[in-house]
């Protein structure tokens, strides 16, 4: 067994130990920085790969949808024309209902605007009297 006496260490030996610790700390921080960079690169690569997978899946499903629409509804142009015609028909029906009911709606609004009640509610009278101290 060897026992070391603290007083036997020289200044050079303690300086060397500190330098070794500092070098180890620097190397450790470099390793951590490299690991962080590597992690970031792996995350970026995974994101790119995931986006490619999503794009290919989306294209595949769009192709399936287009094929199904063509097989069931004929050409896409005819379906769009039929949809536009139906939309125009519904818009005309709504405009007709608006023209039919516009005067009735105006009359209801005017009648409600012209109805003015001059009667003061009892609760309001009491509250005013209480505030004035006449109760």
Per-residue pLDDT of 102-126, as tens digits, reads 999 999 988 888 887 788 888 988 9
Is the pLDDT higher at 58 or at 133? Answer: 58
d(CA 123, CA 106): 33
**pLDDT for residue 7 is more than 90:** no
67-90: average pLDDT: 78
pLDDT of residue 75: 56
Mean per-residue pLDDT, 7-23: 71
pLDDT at 54: 94
Confidence (pTM): 0.37
In sign, the C-alpha dihedral spanning 98, 103, 109, 112 is negative
Question: 78 versus 40: which is more confidently predicted?
Answer: 40
Say what the pLDDT of residue 12 is: 52
More confident residue, 88 or 115: 88
Average pLDDT of 60-77?
A: 77
Highest mean pLDDT among 11-15, 30-34, 129-133: 30-34
109 vs 111: CA distance, rounded Å: 6
């Amino acid at each position: 067994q060897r026992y070391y006496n603290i007083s036997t260490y020289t200044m050079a030996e303690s300086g060397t130990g500190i330098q070794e610790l500092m070098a180890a700390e620097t190397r450790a921080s470099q390793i951590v920085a490299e690991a962080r960079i590597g992690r970031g690169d792996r995350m970026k690569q995974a994101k790119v790969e995931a986006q490619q997978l999503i794009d290919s899946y989306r294209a595949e499903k769009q192709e399936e949808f287009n094929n199904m629409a063509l097989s069931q509804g004929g050409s896409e142009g005819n379906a769009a024309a039929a949809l536009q015609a139906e939309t125009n028909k519904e818009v005309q029906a709504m405009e007709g209902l608006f023209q039919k009911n516009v005067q009735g709606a105006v009359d209801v609004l005017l009648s409600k605007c012209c109805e003015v009640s001059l009667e003061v509610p009892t609760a309001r009278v009491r509250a005013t009297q209480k505030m004035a101290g006449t109760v």
